[in-house]
Chain A
Amino acid sequence: MTDHTITLTINGIERLVETDARSTLLDLLRERLQLTGTKKGCDHGLCGACTVTIDGERVLSCLTLAVSIDGSSILTIEGIADDDRLHPLQRAFLDCDGFQCGYCTSGQISSAHALLHEHARGDLSAASFEPPGGNVVDGPDILSDNEIRERMAGNICRCGAYPNIVDAVASCLRDGRP
Chain B
Amino acid sequence: MKRFTFQRATTIREAVQLASADGASYYAGGTNLLDLMKHGVVEPGTVVDVRRIGTREIFRTDAGGVLIGGAATNSAIANHHLVRSHYPVLSHAILSGATTQLRNMATAGGNLLQRTRCPYYMDASFPACNKRTPGSGCAARDGFNREHAIFGASDSCVAVHPSDMAVALAILDALVHVESAAGARRIPFAHFYCLPDNDPQRDNSMRPGELITGVELSPYRHYTNGWYLKVRDRHSYAFALVSVAVGLTLSDGVITSAAMALGGVAAMPWRVPDAESALIGTRGDPASLRAAAEMALDGAIPLRQNGFKIDLAKHAMLRALEYALVAT
Contact = CB atoms under 8 A, between A and B. Distances in A.
A60 B105 contact: yes
Contacts of B29: 63
B95 A60 contact: no
Contact of B1 (A4, A22, A51, A123): A22
A126 B95 contact: yes
A36 interface: no
Contact of B326 (A44, A123, A132): A132
A151 interface: yes
Contacts of A114: 100
B34 A24 contact: yes
A122 interface: yes
Given A63-B105, A154-B100, A68 B27 contact: yes
A35 interface: no
A104 B31 CA distance: 20
A73 interface: no
Nearest to A122: B79
B75 interface: yes
B327 A22 contact: no
B164 to A, nearest CB: 10
B295 interface: no
Contact of B101 (A60, A123, A139): A60
B97 to A, nearest CB: 9
Given A22-B3, A43-B38, A65-B30, A154 B102 contact: yes
Counting contact residues on chain B (CB < 8 A from A), the size range is: 35 or more
Contacts of A118: 100
A115 B38 CA distance: 29
Interface string B34-64: 1100110000000101010000000000000
Given A21-B4, A60-B101, A65-B6, A132 B323 contact: yes
A64 interface: yes
B30 A64 contact: yes
A88 interface: no
B101 A154 contact: yes
B30 A63 contact: yes
Interface stretch (B85-93, B143-151, B176-184, B261-269): B85-93
Contacts of B121: none
B6 A67 contact: yes
B237 interface: yes
B227 interface: yes
A153 interface: yes
Nearest to B92: A129
Counting contact residues on chain A (CB < 8 A from B), the size range is: 35 or more
A133 B327 contact: yes
Contacts of B327: 129, 132-134
Interface string A129-148: 10011101101000000000
A64 to B, nearest CB: 6
A48 B101 contact: yes
A57 interface: yes
B104 interface: yes
B91 A45 contact: no
A40 interface: no
A64 B38 CA distance: 12
Given A48-B101, A154-B98, A126 B92 contact: yes
Contacts of A22: 1, 3-4
Interface in B66-121: 73, 75, 78-79, 81, 84-85, 88, 91-92, 95-96, 98-102, 104-105
Contact of A123 (B5, B27, B31, B75): B75
Nearest to B89: A129
A65 B4 CA distance: 12
Given A65-B34, A124-B79, A125-B95, A137 B8 contact: no
10 contacts: A43-B38, A45-B31, A60-B105, A65-B27, A65-B30, A125-B95, A129-B92, A137-B88, A151-B100, A153-B99
Given A63-B30, A132-B323, 12 more contacts: A21-B4, A59-B104, A59-B105, A63-B31, A111-B101, A123-B75, A123-B79, A126-B236, A129-B92, A133-B328, A137-B84, A156-B237
Interface of A: 4, 21-22, 24, 43-45, 48, 51, 57-60, 63-65, 67-68, 70, 111, 114-115, 118, 122-126, 128-129, 132-134, 136-137, 139, 149-151, 153-154, 156
Q: Which 5 A-B pairs have the closest CB atoms?
A: A154-B99, A153-B236, A132-B327, A132-B323, A132-B326
